[in-house]
Amino acid sequence: MGDTGAAFVAIPQIPPRNKTWFKQGKWVHYAKIAFERYFLYKMKTGNSELFYEKAMLKALGIERIKKD
């Protein structure tokens, strides 16, 4: 998408979805670059899920999918 990007959030991830959110713009492109660098840092250091990630996702109302 060049200098722009698109962000999409679906809750729950598997249909039927109760909430969806879609935005586009230049800020999404920069957010994607920042997330990629953060993700690679996490993988290099071996941290899979940090406490502030859990807190932020909980504040947004996003929960992990549970295995049966």
Is 35 within a domain? Answer: yes
Note whether residue 1 is domain-resident: no
> Does 51 reside within a domain?
yes
Does residue 52 lie within any of the structural domains? yes
Domain that holds residue 49: 26-63
CA dihedral of residues 29, 62, 58, 37 (deg, nearest 10): -30
pTM over 0.85: no
Model confidence pLDDT, tens digit, residues 5-58: 787 777 776 777 777 778 888 888 888 889 899 899 888 988 877 888 888 888
Our count of domains for the chain comes to: 1
Residue 17 in domain: no
Q: Is residue 37 exposed (0-12), middle (13-18) or buried (19+ Cβ within 10 Å)? A: exposed
Predicted local confidence at residue 34, as pLDDT: 92
Q: Could you tell me if residue 44 is inside a domain?
A: yes
Does residue 49 form part of some domain? yes
pLDDT band (50, 70, 90) for residue 2: low
